[in-house]
């Protein structure tokens, strides 16, 4: 199998699977228990927190709340902060290319709970203009949520500039969904108040995620119960998931530049191929994350192409897996100003450090054959 759908999920590192099995098998006790077995399990949780904070350079400024996913982390950030601080203000700002777990959460806060919501349009290159954030801020703004890297087109938002504007011109906090960014681009982690990360996007395990929270920030928990995770996320934690997430973050950050250079070469090869094709429009901007390359077909049906390639053992996607079953159009591509037809007919190829140059060459040959063979 040639797997080119790494923005949907990545293959777990073999060593992380082994570590998970060892911890789950030998240190299975409840980490909140007072006995020795519980304390041994808690050591892995505490170590996991330190590893993540150290890897991201926020040991002194942030704390880690372990979650089941970045989706949960995004919901805890937005709802937890909005509910806690509604007396201070009720205005939220997001962009129009946010992940569904941010967009739908923000819309629920607006529609069900009466919050005021501003949705900023990105520019034709797919990123939020800092000046638009500045103009949208009001005295009632309490939270701005802007993703670091878009999961469909790979566009990179200027998080450092946005953080500076939010903090200088308002009392709001900045939330960043960094699911597609950790280990792929550098970020000003210490300037971000709330940061969501996901294990399975960086060769970790599904079911692992975290919300990094500035130490001076208060949230209302979404899950009530025994008061675990600083009282913000009650439930019995999995030391194995927490620890393997931490190791995945550490490895991703450490290998960021090395893997980035290699993946950039894969992206360049494929981009050059696409730019030569008259029936293909490249959607991902030039300065996007090299891990994601999105195109639209002008005379073939993308879903048919994806299926034909899948039958040959080559896995790509047509729309984000986060809403592939429900949506027929890429709203991120539409946000670039593309037509509805092009936005409905996209291919997303996403790379990993385990992808090889041969994988890309085989994919190009297979795509040529498929485009030649299938009807429009």
Q: Which domains does the chain have, with CATH numbers?
A: 2-9+256-373 (3.90.1150.10), 14-254 (3.40.640.10)
- pLDDT by residue (tens digit) across 353-373? 999 999 999 999 999 999 999
pLDDT at position 319, please?
Answer: 72
Strands (E), 23-90: 62-67
What pLDDT does 322 receive? 58
Q: With bands split at pLDDT 50, 70 and 90, how would you rate the model's confidence at 60? A: very high
Quote the tokens at residue 291.
């891990």
Active site residues: 322
Look at residue 115 and tell me whether its pLDDT is greater than 80.
yes
What pLDDT is recorded for position 84?
A: 97
pLDDT confidence bin for 220, thresholds 50/70/90? very high
Of all residues in the chain, the percent with pLDDT exceeding 90 is: 96
pLDDT band for 191, please (50, 70, 90 cuts): very high
pTM of the model: 0.96
The tens digit of pLDDT for each residue in 291-300 reads 999 999 999 9
How many angstroms from the chain centroid is the CA of residue 189? 15
Question: Is a pLDDT exceeding 70 seen at residue 376?
Answer: no
pLDDT score, position 16: 98
Checking if the pLDDT of 10 tops 80, the result is: yes
Q: Three-state SS for 77? A: helix
Angle between helices 14-26 and 239-254 (to 10 degrees): 150
Nearest partner of 245 among 19, 76, 3, judged by Cα:
19
Residue 328's pLDDT is 75
Task: Return the pLDDT at 266.
Answer: 98
């Amino acid at each position: 199998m040639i797997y080119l759908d790494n923005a949907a999920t990545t293959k777990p590192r073999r060593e992380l699977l082994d570590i998970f099995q060892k911890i789950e098998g030998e240190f299975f006790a409840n980490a909140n228990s007072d006995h020795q077995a519980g304390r041994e399990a808690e050591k892995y949780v505490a170590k996991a927190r330190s590893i993540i904070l150290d890897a991201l350079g926020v040991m002194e400024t942030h704390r880690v709340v372990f979650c089941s996913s970045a989706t949960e982390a995004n919901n805890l950030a937005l709802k937890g902060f909005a509910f806690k601080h509604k007396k201070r203000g009720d205005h939220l700002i997001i962009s129009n290319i946010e992940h569904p777990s941010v967009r739908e959460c923000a819309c629920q806060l607006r529609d069900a709970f009466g919050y005021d919501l501003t949705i900023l349009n990105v520019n034709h290159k797919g990123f939020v203009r800092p000046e638009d954030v500045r103009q949208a801020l009001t005295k009632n703004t309490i939270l701005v949520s802007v993703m670091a890297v878009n999961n469909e087109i790979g566009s990179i938002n200027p998080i450092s500039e946005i953080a500076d504007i939010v903090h200088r011109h308002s009392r709001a906090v900045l939330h960043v969904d960094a699911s597609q960014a950790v280990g792929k681009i550098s970020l000003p982690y210490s300037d971000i108040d709330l940061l969501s990360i996901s294990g399975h996007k960086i060769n970790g395990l599904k079911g692992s995620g975290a919300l990094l929270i500035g130490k001076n920030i208060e949230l209302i928990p979404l899950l009530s119960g025994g008061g675990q995770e600083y009282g913000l996320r009650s439930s019995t934690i999995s030391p194995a998931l927490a620890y393997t997430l931490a190791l995945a973050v550490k490895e991703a950050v450490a290998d960021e530049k090395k893997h980035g250079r290699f993946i950039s070469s894969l992206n360049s090869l494929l981009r050059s191929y696409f730019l030569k094709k008259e029936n293909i429009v490249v959607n991902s901007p030039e300065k996007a994350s090299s891990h994601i390359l999105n195109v639209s077909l002008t005379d073939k049906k993308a879903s048919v192409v994806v299926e034909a390639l899948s039958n040959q053992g080559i896995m790509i996607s047509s729309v984000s897996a986060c809403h592939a079953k429900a949506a027929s159009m890429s709203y991120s591509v539409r946000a670039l100003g593309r037509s509805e037809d092009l936005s409905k007919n996209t291919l997303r190829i996403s790379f990993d450090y385990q992808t090889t140059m041969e994988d890309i060459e085989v994919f190009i040959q297979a795509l040529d054959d498929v485009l030649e063979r299938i009807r429009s």
